[in-house]
């Protein structure tokens, strides 16, 4: 069984997130998603709209996803790859090259980001619509 691993915040879950998870699953048989905790997002300088419990439950409900684990720190990736017997690590290409250190442990793929959608853009769009 080929196991795939990816990480993310997945706030205000949108089509770009869905396409990433769909393509990640297509690279193997079992997809684990490490969802950033609220505390870790503070480290990332991200303020989430949805709390971790909601973001994790939404991701877990996606048919491409087999397991959800918490992402609490940058440094957990090697340990996660080993602990879960990961064959493929995948991230959107806004992270291109940033996780190449994992190539020692598994295959590493960066998938093209879905254009014209992001959590930040969605927030701005909603604010603009309210202000019209």
91 contributes a contact to ligand C2G by CB under 6 A? yes
SS3 105: coil
User: What's the chain's length in residues?
Assistant: 132
Q: In 10-111, which ranges are E strands?
A: 30-36, 67-71, 88-92, 107-111
Q: Which residue is nearest to ligand C2G (CB)?
A: 92
44 noted as active-site residue: yes
CA gap 66, 120 in Å, rounded: 27
The one catalytic residue in 2, 3, 25, 46 is: 46
Closer to ligand C2G at the Cβ: 30 or 131? Answer: 30
Task: In angstroms, give the least distance from the CB of 74 to ligand C2G.
Answer: 6
Pick from 22, 64, 113, 122 the residue near ligand C2G by CB under 6 A.
113
37 contributes a contact to ligand C2G by CB under 6 A? no
Q: Nearest 5°: phi and psi at 77?
A: -65, -45
Catalytic residues: 44, 46
């Amino acid at each position: 069984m080929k196991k795939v691993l990816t990480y993310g915040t997945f706030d205000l879950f949108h089509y770009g997130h869905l396409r990433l998870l769909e393509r990640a699953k297509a690279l193997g048989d079992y997809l684990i998603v490490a969802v950033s905790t609220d505390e870790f997002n503070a480290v990332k300088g991200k303020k989430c709209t949805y709390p971790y419990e909601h973001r994790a439950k939404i991701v877990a409900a996606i048919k491409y996803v087999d397991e959800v684990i918490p992402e609490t720190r940058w440094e957990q990736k090697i340990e996660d790859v080993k602990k879960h017997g990961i064959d493929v690590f995948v991230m959107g290409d806004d992270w291109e090259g940033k996780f190449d250190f994992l190539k020692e442990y598994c295959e590493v793929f960066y998938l093209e980001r879905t254009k014209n959608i992001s959590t930040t853009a969605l927030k701005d769009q909603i604010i603009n619509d309210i202000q019209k």
